[in-house]
Structure formats: C-alpha cells, structure tokens
C-alpha cells in the first residue's frame, strides 16, 4: 500500500491558537516520499481577527489582502479532503496542529489525532542535536536553495520542507525501490522492512583457511594456557 504524506505549513494572525486564526495554508502531496504534483494553497479570511504586527513582519499578509477571502468554515471540507487519510507533516507541528485543531473545534469537527502527525523539527533535533534546526538552517545544511524565501509563505515553506524532509529521513536514495515499505512515523525516521528468503547451499563453500594457518593458530592457543577463551569454547584447533 502506498504511503501518502502531506507536507504542509500555515500562516496565522498571531501566536495564540485560542484567539488567533489561520490565514494561509499550503501543502504538498508525497506518495512513497516522492512529490506527485498535487498541492493545496488557500488564503483564509480570519473572521474579524486582525493580523498582529509581529506576525505581519514574518509573513507579510495584510488585513486588506484577506478581505473577500473565504472563511475557514467554507474551506474546512476542501482541506480535509485534500489531506484525506494521509500523514500531516509540518515543521514545529505542535504550532500548526494547535491552530488546525482549534479551527476544527470551532466547527464541532473532530481533531486530527497525534498519531497522524509527524513533526520534522523533532526529527531534526534528534538527528542534529547541536542544531540549529530552523527551516532556513536545515536548507543550508542540506544545500537546498532558499534564497527566494524573503518572508514566510505557506506553500513556499511546504516546498522547501518537502526537500528537507526527504534529507532528514535518509536522502533521496531512501525512497528508491522501497515503494510502500517506508514508514516515516516510526520514531520520526524512515524504517524499511523487506522479506529475505534464506536458502541452503547445495554444497558447503570450500574453506579458506590453509593447513599451515590452522597449525599456527593451534600453536598460538597452546601458548595462552588452559584459561584462554579459545580453549574454553573448544576453538583451540581449527580445521582448514
């Protein structure tokens, strides 16, 4: 079964999910760790909540630009349909999911359960404990061009994070030839399982040890005495 993941990001009016609102969401679909080309990118009217100046400095989304945009209640089903049963993957996912679940709660919809969420920041901190592990820092670490990232943007950040995520789970080679067998949720890292059939040889391999080598080994063990570990396990003499 194919592994489906959505790398996503949100921009908000502020930092308090209880009061602030999502004003932009962007997402990139991955199947078996490869982008499919399917994306979601929506600007959302915050329903009367003003953009905090500190948030504006980060993402540059003004109150005026959101006038006339649909509200979250109008877009919730479109968002949920796009994510489907896929894994929700974000950098500092606690922040993004706090806002997503707060928006869903306002509509009396069930929250996204934790087991469907992967935090790339947590993965990065385990893999690079000395940091830094911001999205920009990880782009620099992995040689990903983020020169066009002048401000935060949900779709742009999702595109960059998708590249970072593949590097965090083992690089582009991690996805080759293992369709459907990698699971990024296992401890935040990619785990690959593959059945291996062990077949008995028709005839044993010829020994590589020569008679002179076996004799030299026996002499060496004899010099070590009765307490030698070789003698303990009956390995004093080795057949060529």
Catalytic residues, which ones?
152
What H or E segment, with its residue span, contains residue 30?
strand 22-31
Which residues have a Cβ under 8 Å from the Cβ of 158 and sit 6 or more positions away?
7, 8, 9, 26, 27, 28, 39
The CA distance from 134 to 148, in Å, is 16
The CA distance from 71 to 113, in Å, is 23
The CA distance from 220 to 57, in Å, is 75
The closest alpha carbon to 120, from 71, 184, 171, belongs to 184
Tokens 């030698």 appear where?
Answer: 228
The CA distance from 66 to 43, in Å, is 7
At 160, phi and psi to the nearest 5? -65, -40
């Amino acid at each position: 079964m194919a592994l489906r993941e959505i790398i996503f990001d949100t921009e908000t009016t502020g930092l308090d999910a209880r009061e602030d609102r999502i004003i932009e969401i962007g997402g990139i679909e991955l199947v078996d760790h490869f982008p499919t080309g399917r994306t979601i990118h929506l600007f959302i009217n915050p329903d009367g909540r003003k953009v905090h100046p500190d948030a504006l400095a980060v993402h540059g989304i003004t109150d005026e630009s959101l006038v006339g945009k649909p509200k979250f209640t109008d877009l919730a089903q479109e968002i949920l349909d796009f994510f489907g049963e896929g894994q929700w993957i974000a950098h500092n996912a606690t922040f993004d999911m706090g806002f997503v679940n707060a928006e869903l709660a306002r509509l009396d919809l069930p929250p996204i359960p934790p087991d469907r969420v992967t935090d790339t920041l947590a993965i990065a901190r385990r893999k690079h404990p000395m940091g830094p592990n911001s999205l920009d820092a990880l782009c620099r670490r992995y040689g990903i061009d983020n020169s066009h990232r002048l401000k935060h943007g949900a779709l742009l950040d999702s595109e960059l994070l998708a590249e970072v995520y593949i590097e965090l789970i083992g690089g582009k080679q991690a996805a080759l030839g293992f369709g459907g067998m990698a699971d990024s949720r296992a401890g935040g890292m990619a785990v690959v399982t593959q059945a291996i059939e062990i077949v008995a040889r028709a005839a044993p391999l010829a020994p590589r040890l020569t008679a002179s080598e076996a004799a030299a080994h026996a002499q060496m063990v004899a010099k070590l005495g009765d307490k030698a570990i070789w003698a303990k396990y009956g390995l004093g003499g080795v057949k060529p």
